[in-house]
């Protein structure tokens, strides 16, 4: 009788992994052998970040999972954090984003709608409590209020 080939019998994901897993392992083995060879020769250079080959998975529902890896340059991140955006005609009059609470921020008492003090959890999260004026260094996460 007619037997379907493996490429047709498997789903594409299974076929892909069936083909590429041995290749990935062989490439890993080859890279490890090269590094051992270099170490044996004595020319050990700066350790570069190895490319991760274990970021592809098939989960228990048999679907393809890819874990994306982003290697960020710390200098670039630091520069992004510290340099101001270029001045344009649109943003020249804008107030800069306040990134921290001033230690002497005035405590504004918020009138809450449920008068019952037990209904603390009904207050929205992004209105600060009195404690926040004492010990916060970073704004509350939703940050909808400034």
Q: Is 129 exposed, middle or buried (0-12, 13-18, 19+ CB in 10 A)?
A: middle
Torsion of CA 17, 21, 23, 25, to 10 degrees: 170
Name the percent of the chain lying above pLDDT 70. Answer: 53
Name the percent of the chain lying above pLDDT 90. Answer: 6
Give the pLDDT band of residue 128 (cuts 50, 70, 90).
low
Name the pTM for this structure.
0.29
For 1-28, b/e burial (b = at least 16 CB within 10 A) is: eeeeeeeeeeeeeeeebeeeeeeeeeee
Give the pLDDT band of residue 109 (cuts 50, 70, 90).
low
56-75 per-position pLDDT tens digit:
788 888 888 888 777 788 88
Q: Quick check: 123 and 145 in contact, CB under 8 A?
A: no
């Amino acid at each position: 009788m007619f037997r379907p080939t493996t490429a047709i019998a498997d789903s594409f994901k299974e076929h892909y992994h069936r083909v590429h897993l041995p290749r990935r392992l062989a490439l890993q083995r080859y890279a490890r052998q090269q590094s051992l060879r270099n170490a044996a020769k004595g020319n050990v250079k700066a350790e570069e970040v190895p490319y991760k080959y274990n970021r592809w998975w098939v989960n228990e529902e048999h679907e393809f999972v890819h874990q994306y890896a982003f290697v960020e340059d710390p200098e670039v991140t630091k520069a992004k954090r510290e340099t101001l955006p270029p001045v344009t005609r649109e943003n020249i009059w804008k107030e800069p984003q306040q990134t921290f609470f001033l230690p002497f921020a005035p405590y504004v008492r918020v009138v809450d709608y449920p008068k019952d003090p037990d209904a603390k959890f009904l207050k929205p999260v992004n209105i600060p409590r009195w404690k926040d004026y004492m010990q916060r260094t970073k704004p509350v996460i939703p940050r909808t209020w400034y």
